[in-house]
Structure 1
Amino acid sequence: MQIYNVLSFGAVGNGVKDDTQAFKNTWNAACQAQIRPYKSRLVFQIDGTLMPPDGPKQWPPNTNKQDRLLFKGVHGMLMQGNGLINGRGEKWWDLPCKPHKGGRSPSVSDHLGSLGKGNSKACVTNITVSDSTIKNSDNGVRIKTWQGGSGSVSEVTFKDIHMDIVLNPIIIDQFYCLSKKCPNQTSALMINSVHFSNIKGTYDSRKPPMHLACSDSMPCKNLTLLGIDLVPAQGGAYLDPFCWKAFGPKDTFSTRQVPCLMKGYPKMLQHDVDRTCF
C-alpha cells in the first residue's frame, strides 16, 4: 500500500501553523497516483490531533467556516486511527448573534448533509461511522436533507459512539433550512436502512436525545436503533424521543427502545418510488 504522509508534503503539526495546503498537496498527490482514491479504497489515517483555526476571527477570508473536513465524490474511503478531531468551539459559543446565543455551535459531529439543496439530487450509500467520542457538541450523529431534493440515503450505520453532553445526540432532519422562509415542498430524498447501534452517554436535556423528523411525502423506512443508552447530563430531566413519519422494521427491538418509531412499511411507499442513484 502506498502511504502519503502530510508531514512529507509540508505539514508542521505544531498546533500553530496552518497546514491546510499540506493536506491539499497530499490529497492531490494521491489523486494523481495509480490508486485513484475517488475510485479505489482509500484509508484516511488520523493518529494526531486535527484542529481548525481558533475561533471565527482566525479563519482565512472567503472560506466556509462550517467545514472542518469535507470529502466529495469519494467511494470506498475508510477513516480510522487513534487521533482526535478538536472542533475548538469555545470562541464560537460566546458569539452574540441570535443563532448561536446559548448554544455551542459550530462543533464537531458525525453527519451527512446538507443533501438535496437547491432541488438537487444526492446519492449516499454504504457509510459506516464507528468507534468515536463526541463531546460538548450541538449535534452527535446526524442526517440532514433539504426539502425539494431527490435521490437517496441508504445503508448507513452509526455504531459504538460515546456522547458526552451533546444537545442532539441522534438526529434525522428532512426539513433542514437555514431560515424561516423555506417553502414546503413534496419532493424529498428517500432515507432507507439507517442503523444506530450502541450509542451511549449523556445529552443536554434542553432537547430530546433523539429527533427523527422525516418527510411527509417520503417517510424514513427501515430505521433501527439498538443498544441506545442516553441519559441527561448533570441531573437534567429525562425527555421522550421525537419521531415524525419514522418507520422501523416490524420485527425489531427498536420500537421498544424508541416507542415513537412506527412499525412496518409506510403506506404511501407500498409502491416503491424511483429514487435510483447508481
Structure 2
Amino acid sequence: MGIARQLLFICVIFSLSNVEGRTHFHKDKSKHTDKGTPVGLPPESESPADPPIPSDPNNPCVFDVTSFGAVGDGSTDDTEAFTSAWKAACAVESGVLYAPADYEFTITSTIFSGPCKPGFVFQLDGVLMPPSGPDCWPEGDSKKQWLVFYRVDGMTFTGSGTIEGNGEQWWELPCKPHRGPNGSTLPGPCDSPALIRFFMSVNVEVIGLRIQNSPQFHLKFDGCEGVLIEDLSIDSPALSPNTDGIHVQDTKYVGIYNSMIANGDDCISIGPGCSDVDINNVTCLHGHGISIGSLGVHNSQACVSNISVSNTYIKDSDNGVRIKTWQGGMGSVAGIRFENIEMDNVKNCIIIDQYYCFTKGCRNETSAVYVSDVSYKNIKGTYDVRSPPSYTLLPAATQSHVQI
C-alpha cells in the first residue's frame, strides 16, 4: 500500500473512531464552566484565516509534522513544526496531527489550545520527549508542566508511540527528600514539570500510548468532563518521587480501563471536585496504590463522590486502596466502591486516614472531611508482614461510616 493510501486510510479510520468512541463517559455538555484562564495559558485560539496546507493534497485531513519541518533526530528542537501542524490539523474537520514512527521528536514546554474542529486526533507513532533535564530546560519556559492541552473538546490522543519524560535529572534535585534503597533518604523534585495536562476540556480520549519517566505526574486532568483512558502503559522507577500515574481533579465522568501503571507514587490519584469515576482492569506496580485524596488541606473544602474501582491488581506497593484527608478540612467523600481487587505484597492494603500529614507536628482539628458509604468487596491477596491488612485512622469529630 502506498504512503498516500496509508494516510488516507488513517484519516478515514480516525473519522469513524471519533464518531463511535465516546459513549460511556462523554456527556453532552456543550458549554464550559468558565473558571477563567490561569496565568501561563493563552485565550482560546482562532482558526487561521488562510486554509491549512495538508501534508499530502490527496489526504486533506492528515498533517505530518515532518512536512512542517520536524527533524526527529532526538536533539533538534521540533516545537515550531508541531505547533504549526497543530494549527493546521485543528482547523479542519477530522484533522489528524501525525507524528510518524522511527523518529524521536523533541519539543519544549508547549500549550496546545483549542477549540478545534470536530474529530481532531493527535496520533503519535514515534517518540516525543522534552529537553533532557532542568539544565537543558529553556529559560522562561514553565517548569511546572510540559504538554498542556487546553479547551480541546472532542480530542483523541493516541498511537503506538512513546512519550519519554527524561525525568532522571529532575528526580535528583536537592529539594524534597524521598526514600532510597536500604532505608536511605535521597533528594527529590523542586519545580518539576507534570508531563501531560488536559485542562478545561470535554470529551477527550487517551488511548494506546506508552508514557514513561515523567519528571513529576505523568498524566493530569484538571477541570475536565468526559474522559476516557484505555490501553495505556505508564512506566517509571519505584523510587522516582511524586510521579503519580494518572491524576484527576475537578473532573467528572471518567473511565480508566485496561491499563498498566508502574511508578513511584500514587498509581491513580483522585483529587477534590471529582465524581463519577470508573476504574476497571488496571494493574498497579511498586507505587502507592490507588488514592482518593489527599483532601481538605489548609482547611479547604473538598467533595468526591461516586468512585468505583474494580478488577484491579496491585503488587509490591506501599498502599492498596486509600482515602486520605487532612485535619481541619471540610466537605465529603461518599459513594466509594472497591470490588474484586487482588493485592500481592502490599504494605497497607486498606486505609482510611483522616489524620493525613507530612510531618509529626500536625495538630488535631475539630473538623474533618466527612466520609460515608464506602464499601469493600472481594479484596484478597498477600500483604507485607510489617503491617496489618486493614488500617484506618478516623478522628472522633468525624462521623464516618465504612462497610466492609
Normalising by the residue count of structure 2, what TM-score does the alignment of the two structures yield? 0.50
CA contact (8 A) 1:170 1:210 kept: yes
Please tell me whether residue 141 in structure 1 is matched to residue 246 in structure 2.
yes
1:209 corresponding residue in structure 2: 289
1:263 corresponding residue in structure 2: 373
SS in 2 for 1:29: helix
Partners of 2:373 and 2:257 in 1: CA distance: 22
Please tell me whether residue 31 in structure 1 is matched to residue 112 in structure 2.
no
Shift of 1:32: 3.8
Please tell me whether residue 242 in structure 1 is matched to residue 320 in structure 2.
no
SS in 1 for 2:62: coil
Relative to its length, the structure with more strand (as a share) is 2
SS in 2 for 1:166: coil
- Farther-moved stretch of structure 1 (95-104 vs 6-15): 95-104
SS in 1 for 2:63: coil
2:225 corresponding residue in structure 1: 125
2:362 corresponding residue in structure 1: none
Partners of 2:169 and 2:311 in 1: CA distance: 34
Partners of 2:153 and 2:119 in 1: CA distance: 7
Shift of 1:62: 0.6
Shift of 1:13: 0.6
- Farther-moved stretch of structure 1 (22-31 vs 158-167): 158-167
Q: How many residues align?
A: 224
Shift of 1:170: 1.5
User: Where does structure 2 lack aligned partners over 5 or more consecutive residues?
Assistant: 1-10, 12-60, 96-114, 179-185, 193-214, 326-331, 342-349, 353-370, 375-404
Rg (Cα) greater in structure = 2
Please tell me whether residue 157 in structure 1 is matched to residue 255 in structure 2.
yes
Partners of 1:10 and 1:140 in 2: CA distance: 32
1:273 corresponding residue in structure 2: none
Where in structure 2 are the equivalents of 1:3-14 lying within 5 Å? 3-14=62-73
Q: 1:42 aligns with which of 112, 117, 120?
A: 120
Shift of 1:133: 1.4
Where in structure 2 are the equivalents of 1:57-76 lying within 5 Å? 57-76=135-154
Shift of 1:76: 0.5
SS in 2 for 1:69: strand
| Amino acid in structure 2 at the alignment position of 1:168 | D
Relative distance call for 1:34 and 1:210 in structure 2 (3 A) is closer
Percent identity over the alignment is 29
| Amino acid in structure 2 at the alignment position of 1:12 | V
Partners of 2:217 and 2:351 in 1: CA distance: 29
SS in 2 for 1:63: coil
Relative distance call for 1:162 and 1:239 in structure 2 (3 A) is closer
Relative distance call for 1:34 and 1:195 in structure 2 (3 A) is closer
Q: 1:97 aligns with which of 166, 175, 185?
A: 175
Kindly report the root-mean-square deviation, in angstroms, between the aligned alpha carbons of the 2 structures: 2.8
Shift of 1:93: 1.4
SS in 2 for 1:241: strand
Shift of 1:128: 0.9
Partners of 1:6 and 1:68 in 2: CA distance: 19
1:53 corresponding residue in structure 2: 131
Partners of 2:311 and 2:72 in 1: CA distance: 38
CA contact (8 A) 1:41 1:75 kept: no
Relative distance call for 1:239 and 1:126 in structure 2 (3 A) is closer
Normalising by the residue count of structure 1, what TM-score does the alignment of the two structures yield? 0.71
Relative distance call for 1:93 and 1:14 in structure 2 (3 A) is same
Partners of 1:97 and 1:130 in 2: CA distance: 34
Partners of 1:86 and 1:108 in 2: CA distance: 13
1:270 corresponding residue in structure 2: none
SS in 1 for 2:281: strand
2:218 corresponding residue in structure 1: 109
Partners of 2:62 and 2:270 in 1: CA distance: 36
2:6 corresponding residue in structure 1: none
